[in-house]
A and B are shown apart, each in its own frame.
Chain A
Amino acid sequence: KQEVTQIPAALSVPEGENLVLNCSFTDSAIYNLQWFRQDPGKGLTSLLLIQSSQREQTSGRLNASLDKSSGRSTLYIAASQPGDSATYLCAVYSFQGGSEKLVFGKGTKLTVNP
C-alpha cells in the first residue's frame, strides 16, 4: 500500500529565504508525482506535475525534483514571499488495489514572515 510522508509538518521562515519541502513515498512504481498548494478554507491547486520519466519540473520560483528509485521528491521555493504561506501537499499517482489512485501526504504548512 502506497504511503506518502511529508516532513516537516510545519515550517516558518523569514521572507526572502530559499527553502525545501520534502516528500517521500513507499512504492516507487508511480506514474507521476504532483505538488499541490492549499490555502485555508479552499481547495487544492496543482503547482507542478512530474511524470515518472522526468527528473524535475520548474514553474517560476518553484522547482520540483523526483528521484523515483529512492522514493523522494523535493519542492524548492526560491526567494520566499508572504504570499507563499499555505499548506503544500505532495501526491503520487500509482496503481493501488485494482485502480489508479492519487495518494496524498498530510502536507507541510509553510509560513513566510514579512
Chain B
Amino acid sequence: DAGVIQSPRHEVTEMGQEVTLRCKPISGHDYLFWYRQTMMRGLELLIYFNNNVPIDDSGMPEDRFSAKMPNASFSTLKIQPSEPRDSAVYFCASSRGEFFIGRDGETQYFGPGTRLLVL
C-alpha cells in the first residue's frame, strides 16, 4: 500500500484566500484524522471521521475550518478565509478499528503532511 497520501505537500497563500488540503487514507481503514502541528502547540487533533462520518470536531479552531469525507478514500480540510496564524503543518492519519480504536490497540498511520504558509 502507498500509505496515507496528502496533497499538496507545500502551500503558500495570502491572507484571506481559501485553502483546501486533501487526503487519501490507507485502503480499508475506517478512521481518518486531521491534525495540526506547530512549534508552540505541538500536534493537535482537529477532527476525526469513522466510516466517513465526523465523530469529534471539537478541535477545529473556528468556523473558518471545515472538513469533509465524501467517501472512504478521500477527505478534505478547508480553511476559508485563511489567516497567518493558520500557518502550520497539517497531517492526515488513518487507522483500522472495529469499535474503539484506543481499546482495539490499533495505531494510526500518518501521511507526510502539508506545510501551509499564509502570508
Contacts and interface: CB of A to CB of B under 8 A. Distances in A.
- Range of interface residues on A (Cβ < 8 Å): 20 to 34
A49 B43 contact: no
- Range of interface residues on B (Cβ < 8 Å): 20 to 34
A43 B101 contact: no
A50 to B, nearest CB: 9
B112 A42 contact: yes
Interface stretch (B13-21, B64-72, B74-82, B102-110): B102-110
Contacts, number: 64
A100 B101 contact: yes
A44 interface: yes
B45 interface: yes
Given A43-B4, A89-B43, A102-B45, A49 B105 contact: yes
Tell me whether chain A's interface is mostly helix, strand or loop, or mixed: strand
A43 B108 CA distance: 11
In this complex, the member of B4, B93, B103 whose beta carbon has the largest number of chain A beta carbons within 10 angstroms is B103
Contact of B43 (A95, A98, A104): A104
7 contacts: A32-B102, A43-B112, A43-B113, A94-B102, A98-B56, A99-B58, A102-B108
Interface of A: 30-32, 34, 41-46, 49, 51, 89, 91, 93-95, 97-107
